[in-house]
Amino acid sequence: MAPTKPTVEHTVDRTPEYEKFIEELRAFHEKRGTNFDPEPKMGTITVDLLKLFKYIVDHGGYDKVSDEKLMWRKMCEGLGLMRHNAPADAYTLKQIFYKNLAAYEIKTIHNKEPPPPEILEFTTAKGGGLLTRTLETFQAKNKPDREGSTEDGTPNRERRTEDTPTSGRASRGLREAPPPRVIFHPDTGPSRTSRHSSGQQSGASASTTHSQAQAHPQHNSQPHAAPVTMQQNHPHPSRGGPSHGYNAPGPEMSNPLVQSYQPGPPIQVPLRTVDTPASNPDSFVKKQRLLRQPAGPVPNPGTLVRNSVPMGTLDGPNIYERCLLALRSGIKEEQAFGLNHLVKISYERGDKYKFSQFSGLAEGLTEFALGVGNMFFEIDWTICNDPDADEGDLGELDGINGTADILERIAQLKPKDVHDNFQPAEFTDQLTLVTEAVLTIRNMVMLPDNAWFMADYPPIKDLLCILLHLPPLDLVVELKHCALDIAEQITPFLVLDSEDPLYQTLLAQLQSSDRGIILTSLRAIGRIAMNHPTETNKLGGVPPTVLQSLMDWLLLNDDELVDACLDFLYQYTAVVANLDVLLEATNVEHLVVHLVRLLSHGAKRFQREVVISEARVAYEVSAERVVPIPRDLQERLLGLEEPDRCYGWLRCFFEEDPDAQITQIDIWQAYNAAFLEPMRRMGRPMINAAEFIRHISTVYKNAGAQVIREGPNGEMQKFIMRGIRPRPFPITPEGQAYFQCQWQRAPGPQGQPTRCGVWNLTAENMWRHILVDHLKEIPGEDGKYRNREAAFACLWDDCTKYPKPTTLHLAQLMTHIKTHLRAEEALRSSPVINPTVATVDGAGPSPSPGSGPITSPARRAPTFPTTPASAGKVRVVRPAKTITVTVEETASARDERNPAAAPQAAGIPLSAVLILRNIARNVVKTAAEEKLVKENAAGADATAAAGSGKGDTVEMGGWNERLFRPVLPRLWEVFTENKLLAPYLTNLFQLLDRGSEKERFEFGV
C-alpha cells in the first residue's frame, strides 16, 4: 500500500484581504444580531475563515458539500485540519461554517435573503438545505416523528433500500426492530371466571366509558361515543420475523376521548389532604412495615390490571437506553436490533457516546463478544467477579484482576470442525453479531475517555487474547483486525511486563504474513505505557526472529511500515539489556548502515549561495594622499640605491589610472616623508625633485607631468602628474598586499574613535601587534603568553561578537580575532574578491600592473556611488563574500505548542538518528562491550608478546568503534548539509568521543 499523503499545514494568513473579510463578516453578524467568532478553534489550530469560505464555495457551497457523503471529511483534509477523530473534526468544521459563514454565503454568493437566526445560527448544523429553508418548513420538518428518528434516536433502516449498502460487513445494513413487548399487567380478579365473564367484562367496559362521557359532557363533542376496547397483542417469540421498525402508536390507535377533546371552562377540582411524614407519621410507619413483608402470589400473566395505562401513552426509553437494554435482555432478536444500532451510533456519535454514561454497556459488549469461543472451541467463556471463587473451571475468567494463565487455557482448548467457506445460517448470524459487538468497542475506544475506561476493565485483555488466537480462517480476519485496533488504543493506558499474556500475544502477531496485522501490532506495542510518565515500556522478551524481521522490513519501500519499525527500535534500544540481545541475535553493523542510509530518506539536495559578509565601504582615501610606508618595507627600500629606491617606492604605492591625477608637490612630499629623516641619519644624500619627477614616467609609461591653470582668469598654475593614483594599500615589490589594523582606539578630541592604521604583511604579525600593542600583554620567559581570564572586548572594525567587555579567557578572544585577520588576509590575496576602488565619477575600477588578473563583469565586486561631498576621494569597497554550500532538506514539522518556532526534524530521518544515539549511548554499558574490550586487550598482549608485530593490526576499540567508524564520513557529510539533523548528530559525536576517551584510558593510550 502506498504511503499516506501528508496534508497541508493550516495557518492564518493575516493579509489585507483577510482583515477586510473579517470586518465585513463582523458587520454582517452585528446587523443580523448573531454572535461571531473571528478566530474559531479546532483543538489547538485556529481556523482561517477566509480560506474556509473560499474552499467551501469552490466545492459548490454548504448545501452541496452537506449532500455528499463524507464530503466534510474531505474538506478537513484539503484545508489541513484533520487531526485524530475524523467524524468529530468534520462535524466541528461544519459547525464553524454553519455558525459564521452559512448566512453570509446565502447573501453574497446566492443573492438570497438568509433564513432568520432562529432556524439557522440558533440551531445545530445537523440538517442541510439552507437555500430552501423557511420557518414553516423547518418547524414541520423537525417535529418529533414517532415513525422516524428524533434527536436522541437513529433513523429506521430497512434491509435493502437505496441508501443501504449491500456489503457483507457487520457494520452495513441495519436490522429492524423486533416486535414490541407488551407491558405485563397482572389480573386482580378471581382466578376462576364464569361462563359469561367475557361478556360482562365487555359490558362493564362500555358502561364505564358511557358513564365517563356523561360525567364530563364537555370533553366529548359526540353524544354517542363508541365504547373503547383495549386490545393486547402477545406475539409468540418463535413466530414470524422482525417487524418493520419500532413504530410508536399513532393517532389511529389513541383513545377517541382524547381525540375528541375540546377546551372548556375551568373545572373546580376538589382538594384533599395529603399525608406527609410530619402530618401523619403513623400512616408512613404502616407503609414501611408493608414494604418489608414478603411478596404475594404471582398474578396470572394472561389477565389485565384494572385501570392500566392505555397502549401508546408512554414513549419508552431513548435509543441509547433501548440498545443497552436490548443487549442485556438475552433475546436474540432484541440483541440483533441493539447491536446493529450500536454500530451506527458508535460510527456517527463516537465523540459523545461514552461508556461511563451507560452503566453495563462495556460489560455487556465484552460478555457478548466472548461468545465467539463457543463457536470455534468446546468452551463457554464466562466472567467471574468473585475474588474468592475457585479456579477449577477452564472457561471462568477473572473479572477482578484479569486471567494470568489465559494463554495456557487457550492452548488446552479443543477446536471445532469449522469450514472457512461453508457455515450454517445460525453460525453466520451469530458471528455477525459478535463482529458487531467487537466493532462497537473498536469504534468507541477511538475516543480517549472510552479507551481509558476499557483499559481499566481487566476482561478486555482476556477478550483480545481470545480473539487473536482464533483459528487462521478468512472469516475471522475482520475480528482480528478490530481486536488489534482496540489494543492500539488501550495500550497507552496499560503497563505490560514481558510475561503479560496480551504483550506475548501482540509479539506473536509480528510473525504473521499480513501487513495490516504487523503494522497495527507494532503500533500497539510501541504505545504501551505511553500515558504513564512513571512507567517505561522496556520491551523485554522479544524473539530474535522478530528482531531480524524488523531489520529486513527496513529495506522495504514502505514508509508506513518503516516508520513503525523505527518507533519500535527506538524504544527497544533505549534499554541496555535489550542491546545485549540485539548484538547477539543480529548483525548490528548492518543495522547501523541502514539507519545512516535512512538519515537522507526523502531528502532534497540543492546548492545555495551563502553570504558570509555583505558588500560595504571599508574606508575612504584621498585621491592625492599617499598612505604611510610600513616599517619593514621602509627598511627594505632603504637598502637600495637610487634610482632603484625611487622605482620600488612608486610601484609599491601607486598604480596607473588614465583619469586620475596627483600634484607633483604631494608626491614629492610623500617620498621625502618616507626617506628624508632616515637618509639624514645614515648620512646619505636624497635625490632631487626634478630627477624624481622624470623617474615617474620611467615606471609608468602613460604617466606624464602637466601644468593646468586654475582660478577665474586662469592666473594660477598647478603642476600635476596625470595617469597615476595612490594605491589604497601598499604592496611589496613582489606584489603581496599589506593590510591595515582596524582596531579602534579611544575617541579623540572630536569624540570620534580612530583606527590604529598600522600596516602588516601577514596575519601572524597583525595578531602579535594586537596582542602586544593593544591588549598590552607581555610574553613570559618562554615566549608564551599567559591565558588569563579577564574582561575583554573586540574593537576590530565594528565587531558585534564582543562589542562590550566580556569575561573570557585570552585564548578565546585571540581565537575570535583570528577570524578577522583571516578575512582581511583572504581579501588581499584572492584576485576574485579584491577590493574594488570606485572613482569619484563612478567610472569603476581600472586594471593596474601587479594587481592580479582582472575579474569578469559577472564576478566584479559592486561599487558604491559617491556623493558630491566626497569629491576628490575614492572609496575602497569590500565586496560581499559568498561560498557555495550543498544543502540537504528532509522531513520537518512545526511544534504545535509553539507554531512561531522554526521547523524541527521529523519523520523517518529523525527516528533513525535517535536510534543511532541510543546505540552509541547504551552499547558501552552492555556486557557485550566488556567482553569485546577484554578480547581486544588479550589480542594486544598476544601480539606484543609474539614480537615486533610489524604488519599486524590490533583492534583497540569497543562496539562504538566497530559500529560507527565505517560510517563516520557519511555522518559528517549529513552533519554539514542537513541543518535539522545537525543538533542530534552533534550529540551523537559527543557520545562517540566520550566512548573513545574511555577506551583510550582503559588501554593506557
| Contact status, residue 741 vs residue 757, Cβ threshold 8 Å | yes
Question: Running DSSP on this structure, what letter comes out for residue 771?
Answer: I
Q: Residue 404 is placed in which grid cell? A: 494470568
| Contact status, residue 52 vs residue 101, Cβ threshold 8 Å | yes
User: Distance between CA 973 and CA 990 in Å, rounded?
Assistant: 16
Per-residue pLDDT, averaged over 911-918, amounts to 96
What is the pLDDT, as a whole number, of residue 908? 96
Q: Which residue has the higher pLDDT, 903 or 193?
A: 903
What is the pLDDT, as a whole number, of residue 427? 94
What is the pLDDT, as a whole number, of residue 485? 96
Q: Are residues 470 and 343 in the same domain?
A: yes
Question: Which range, of 391-395, 399-403, 509-513, 679-683, averages the lowest pLDDT?
Answer: 391-395
| Contact status, residue 105 vs residue 61, Cβ threshold 8 Å | yes
Q: Which residues pair with 882 in a beta bridge?
A: 611
Q: Are residues 861 and 901 in the same domain?
A: no
Q: Residue 708 is placed in which grid cell? A: 593646468
Nearest to 767, CA basis, from 751, 780, 779, 754: 779
Q: Residue 742 is placed in which grid cell? A: 582596524
User: Distance between CA 440 and CA 428 in Å, rounded?
Assistant: 18
CATH code of residue 66: 1.10.150.60
- Structure confidence by residue, pLDDT tens digits, 741-754: 888 877 655 556 67
Q: Are residues 867 and 896 in the same domain?
A: no
- Structure confidence by residue, pLDDT tens digits, 406-464: 999 999 999 999 988 888 999 999 999 999 999 999 999 999 999 999 999 999 999 99
Report residue 653: phi and psi, to 5°: -120, 0
Q: Which residue has the higher pLDDT, 418 or 202?
A: 418
Report residue 995: phi and psi, to 5°: -65, -35
Q: Are residues 758 and 673 in the same domain?
A: no
Q: Mean pLDDT: which of 63-72, 195-204, 225-234, 935-944 is highest?
A: 63-72
Q: Which residue has the higher pLDDT, 468 or 209?
A: 468
Using the predicted structure, report yes or no on whether residue 192 has a pLDDT greater than 80. Answer: no
Nearest to 36, CA basis, from 54, 52, 24, 19: 24
User: Distance between CA 666 and CA 693 in Å, rounded?
Assistant: 11
Residue 965 has, within 13 A of its CA and on its CB side, a CA count of: 10
Q: Is residue 866 part of a domain?
A: yes
**What number of H helices and E strands is found in the chain?**
36, 20
Cis peptide before 643 (omega within 30 of 0): yes
User: Distance between CA 664 and CA 705 in Å, rounded?
Assistant: 8
The band of 687, judged by pLDDT with boundaries at 50, 70 and 90, is confident
Nearest to 726, CA basis, from 853, 862, 837: 837
User: Distance between CA 785 and CA 806 in Å, rounded?
Assistant: 19
Q: Which residues pair with 992 in a beta bridge?
A: none
Question: Which range, of 316-330, 497-511, 710-724, 769-783, averages the lowest pLDDT?
Answer: 710-724
Q: Are residues 335 and 452 in the same domain?
A: yes
Using the predicted structure, report yes or no on whether residue 79 has a pLDDT greater than 60. Answer: yes
Per-residue pLDDT, averaged over 706-720, amounts to 79
- Structure confidence by residue, pLDDT tens digits, 128-149: 678 777 665 655 555 544 344 4
Q: Is residue 276 part of a domain?
A: no
What is the pLDDT, as a whole number, of residue 145? 43
What is the pLDDT, as a whole number, of residue 193? 43
User: Distance between CA 530 and CA 493 in Å, rounded?
Assistant: 7
Percent of the chain with pLDDT over 90: 30
Q: Which residue has the higher pLDDT, 889 or 617?
A: 889
Q: Is residue 595 part of a domain?
A: no
Per-residue pLDDT, averaged over 293-317, amounts to 51
Residue type, 334: E
Using the predicted structure, report yes or no on whether residue 645 has a pLDDT greater than 60. Answer: yes
Q: Residue 432 is placed in which grid cell? A: 455477525
CA angle 878, 884, 890 (to 5 degrees): 135
**Structure pTM?**
0.51
What is the pLDDT, as a whole number, of residue 71? 87
Q: Is residue 577 part of a domain?
A: no
Per-residue pLDDT, averaged over 15-34, amounts to 90
Using the predicted structure, report yes or no on whether residue 966 has a pLDDT greater than 90. Answer: yes
Report residue 740: phi and psi, to 5°: -100, 145
Q: Are residues 748 and 657 in the same domain?
A: no
Q: Is residue 228 part of a domain?
A: no
Percent of the chain with pLDDT over 70: 72
Using the predicted structure, report yes or no on whether residue 1004 has a pLDDT greater than 60. Answer: no
| Domain end residue (candidates: 726, 760, 792) | 726
Q: Are residues 638 and 676 in the same domain?
A: yes
The two most distant CA atoms of the chain are separated, in Å, by 166
- Structure confidence by residue, pLDDT tens digits, 232-259: 344 433 333 333 344 444 444 445 554 5
User: Distance between CA 721 and CA 611 in Å, rounded?
Assistant: 41
Cis peptide before 265 (omega within 30 of 0): no
Residue type, 746: A
Residue type, 47: V
User: Distance between CA 775 and CA 768 in Å, rounded?
Assistant: 10
Question: Which range, of 317-331, 656-670, 818-832, 849-863, averages the lowest pLDDT?
Answer: 849-863
Q: Are residues 429 and 540 in the same domain?
A: no
User: Distance between CA 213 and CA 221 in Å, rounded?
Assistant: 10
Per-residue pLDDT, averaged over 176-192, amounts to 53
What is the pLDDT, as a whole number, of residue 88? 83
What is the pLDDT, as a whole number, of residue 284? 72
DSSP 3-state assignment of 727?
A: coil
User: Distance between CA 813 and CA 614 in Å, rounded?
Assistant: 23
Q: Is residue 733 part of a domain?
A: no
Residue type, 871: A
* Count of structural domains within the chain: 6
Nearest to 542, CA basis, from 555, 551, 531: 551
Nearest to 771, CA basis, from 818, 838, 728, 725: 818
Using the predicted structure, report yes or no on whether residue 817 has a pLDDT greater than 70. Answer: yes
Q: Residue 959 is placed in which grid cell? A: 562496539
Question: Running DSSP on this structure, what letter comes out for residue 731?
Answer: B
Nearest to 539, CA basis, from 489, 581, 511: 581
What is the pLDDT, as a whole number, of residue 559? 94
| Domain end residue (candidates: 821, 851, 878) | 878
What is the pLDDT, as a whole number, of residue 307? 45
CA angle 368, 315, 344 (to 5 degrees): 40
Q: Are residues 475 and 501 in the same domain?
A: no
What is the pLDDT, as a whole number, of residue 245? 40
The band of 82, judged by pLDDT with boundaries at 50, 70 and 90, is confident
Question: Running DSSP on this structure, what letter comes out for residue 411?
Answer: H
Kindly tell me the burial class for residue 571, based on how many C-beta atoms sit within 10 Å of its own C-beta (0-12, 13-18, 19 or more). buried
Report residue 396: phi and psi, to 5°: -95, 115
**Kind of pairing between the strands at 396-398 and 382-384:** parallel
Label each residue of 683-695 as H, E or C. CCCCCCHHHHHHH
Q: What is the pLDDT of the chain when averaged over all its residues?
A: 77
Q: Is residue 10 part of a domain?
A: no
Q: Are residues 174 and 101 in the same domain?
A: no
Q: Are residues 486 and 522 in the same domain?
A: no
Domain ranges, residue 862: 739-878
Residue type, 760: N
Q: Are residues 110 and 71 in the same domain?
A: yes
Q: Is residue 607 part of a domain?
A: no
- Structure confidence by residue, pLDDT tens digits, 525-570: 999 998 887 788 889 999 999 999 999 999 999 999 999 999 999 9
DSSP 3-state assignment of 838?
A: strand
| Domain end residue (candidates: 726, 748, 765) | 726
User: Distance between CA 877 and CA 616 in Å, rounded?
Assistant: 6
What is the pLDDT, as a whole number, of residue 896? 81
User: Distance between CA 843 and CA 485 in Å, rounded?
Assistant: 76
| Contact status, residue 769 vs residue 758, Cβ threshold 8 Å | yes
Q: Which helix (H) or strand (E) holds 888?
A: strand 881-889
Q: Which residue has the higher pLDDT, 419 or 294?
A: 419
